[in-house]
């Protein structure tokens, strides 16, 4: 029997799929509708300082026929009265006691202001608090959002104001717009946070209209930087997630966000250390119903693998993260083309010939082109397999026997001990000795 339930920093939910703090979680109507579809939790759209949102606040990036591959927004926090939000939060939690209801907060950097809103939040009966230190636009100009998340000292100070009075779990939502995300994560840990949420949106300008030269989105002829989200940001989110997850100075549960569109994406986040995932852009694109496929897909995958709990796989990919200097230089792969599957588009040939290592030959056979890899020249870069439009037509095959290995760090150390400088000639000798030819 598969159990999808999770516990993120003391906040329990029936499955790992939560709505992120965003337009889909803006009201009781929306959150209750999401729970009816099967979502395990929600993070209520950020409440706090009074704001008025602008009109035309989203910009989309379409790619290769896919709509909203990336989504840019200049929307601020909730523009609904704070009293309305608190009333609806309490009503929603009473109606759905088995679902996680977390409230995202953002107010000015004053201790008494934070104390007041935290107390009012706790009074709703919600399960946890998420501190929004990530908004890259609008609020950061007021000294909130990313303006806090980018300064570890501010992150620590405000988190301490919250944790000193909070009786429920506190998650700190971090901005990706930093050079080292471990520093604000450590600050949150030092301040007593119960968990980390990441990533918030990435600072961006989504594009320019080439006719009137206006930015997208356009507000009366003007535009500016906004928050970037959607499938396109997932690789960045996975990287930053892993950096926090492997940091022994943090060691906190993580709620993962950033381009989660299906159950496969969610599993990648969990394998890199996330306790659960939050979803926004995919819901804005396809609606609350997508959680049904997420639950079914994850359940079926776990059944096939014989996995009964997500705890069994959480963080399993983290030990595979290593420094480049520890990669095996003698692990050699080459490309092989399945001629039965090849559709003779020649994309592999063009990519290799023009931008890689010129090791694919193009010949004529039976009236059509034939692409073949010269294996002795192939460096195993894998570009051909990436541009190939046919699944499994080009495979990367390991050809060394695995009996020996050598990392760059080991090689450096050997040269250091021998007293020899590592010259191009000495490196060429090493490569030739191990059957690695560079053309």
Q: List the one residue out of 276, 266, 307 whose CA is nearest residue 15.
A: 276
Q: Pick the catalytic residue from 8, 32, 126, 135.
A: 135
Instruction: Using alpha carbons, select from 16, 20, 173 the residue that is nearest to residue 99.
Output: 16
Peptide bond into 283 cis (omega under 30): no
Look up 135 and say whether it is catalytic.
yes
Helices 234-245 and 263-271, packing angle to 10 deg: 30
- β-partners of residue 129 are 103, 170
Q: What is the 3-state secondary structure (H, E, C) of the chain?
A: CCECCEEECCEEECCCEEECCCHHHCCHHHHHHHHHHCCCEEEEEEEECCCCCCCCCEEEEEECCEEEEEEEECCCCCCCCHHHHHHHHHHHHHHCCCCEEEEEEECCCCHHHHHHHHHHHHCCCCCEEEEEECCCCCCHHHCCCHHHHCCHHHHHHHHHHHHCCCCCCEEEEECCCCCCCHHHHHHHHHCCCCEEEECCCEEECCEECCCCCCEECCECCECCCEEEECHHHHHHHHHHHHHHHCCCCCCCCEEEECCCCCHHHHHHHHHCCCCEEEECHHHHHHCCCHHHHHHHHHHHHHHHHCCCEHHHCCCCCHHHCCCHHHCECCCCEEEEECCCCCCCCCHHHHHHHHHCCCCEEEEEECCEEEEEECCCCCCCCCHHHHHCCCCCCEEEEECCCCCCCCEHHHHHHHHHHHCCCCCHHHHHHHHHHCCCCCC
Measured distance CA(21)–CA(23) in Å, rounded: 7
Residues near 370 by beta carbon (within 8 Å), at least 6 away in sequence: 339, 342, 344, 362, 363, 364
Q: CA 197, 193, 243, 312: dihedral to nearest 10 degrees?
A: -80
By annotation, the residues acting in catalysis are 135
């Amino acid at each position: 029997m598969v159990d999808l339930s999770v516990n993120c920093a003391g906040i329990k939910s029936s499955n790992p799929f939560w709505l992120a703090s965003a337009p889909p979680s803006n009201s009781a109507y929306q959150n209750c509708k999401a729970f009816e579809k099967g979502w395990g939790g929600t993070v209520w759209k950020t409440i706090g300082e009074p704001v008025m949102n602008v009109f035309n606040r989203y910009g989309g990036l379409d790619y290769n026929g896919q709509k909203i591959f990336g989504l840019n927004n200049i929307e601020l926090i909730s523009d609904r009265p704070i009293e309305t939000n608190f009333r609806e939060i309490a009503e929603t939690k009473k109606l759905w006691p088995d679902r996680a209801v977390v409230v995202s907060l953002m107010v000015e950097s004053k201790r008494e202001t934070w104390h007041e809103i935290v107390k009012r939040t706790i009074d709703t009966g919600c399960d946890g608090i998420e501190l929004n230190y990530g908004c890259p636009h609008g609020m950061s100009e007021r000294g909130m959002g990313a303006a806090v998340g980018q300064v570890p000292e501010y992150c620590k100070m405000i988190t301490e104001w919250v944790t000193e009075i909070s009786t429920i779990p506190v998650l700190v939502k971090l901005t990706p717009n930093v050079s080292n995300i471990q520093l604000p994560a450590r600050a949150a840990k030092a301040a007593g946070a119960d968990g980390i949420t990441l990533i918030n949106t990435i600072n961006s300008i989504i594009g320019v209209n080439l006719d009137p030269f206006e930015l997208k989105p356009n507000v009366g002829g003007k535009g500016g930087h906004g928050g970037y989200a959607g499938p396109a940001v997932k690789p960045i989110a996975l990287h930053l997630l892993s950096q926090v997850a492997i940091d022994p100075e943090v060691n906190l549960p993580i709620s993962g966000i950033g381009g989660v569109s299906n159950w496969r994406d969610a599993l990648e986040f969990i394998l890199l250390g996330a306790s659960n995932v939050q979803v926004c852009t995919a819901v804005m694109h396809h609606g609350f119903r997508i959680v049904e496929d997420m639950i079914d897909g994850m359940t079926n995958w776990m059944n096939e693998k014989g996995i009964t709990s997500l705890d069994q796989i959480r963080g399993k990919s983290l030990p595979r993260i290593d420094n480049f200097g520890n990669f095996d230089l003698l692990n050699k792969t080459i490309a092989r083309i399945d001629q039965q599957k090849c559709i003779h588009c020649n994309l592999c040939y063009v990519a290799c010939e023009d931008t890689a290592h010129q090791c694919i030959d193009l010949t004529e056979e039976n009236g059509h082109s034939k692409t073949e890899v010269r294996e002795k020249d192939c460096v195993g870069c894998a570009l051909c397999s990436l541009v190939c439009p046919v699944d499994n037509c080009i495979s990367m095959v390991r050809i060394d026997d695995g009996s020996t290995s050598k990392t760059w760090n080991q090689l450096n150390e050997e040269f250091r001990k021998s007293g020899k400088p590592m010259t191009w000639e000495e490196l060429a000798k090493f490569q030739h000795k191990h059957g690695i030819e560079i053309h």
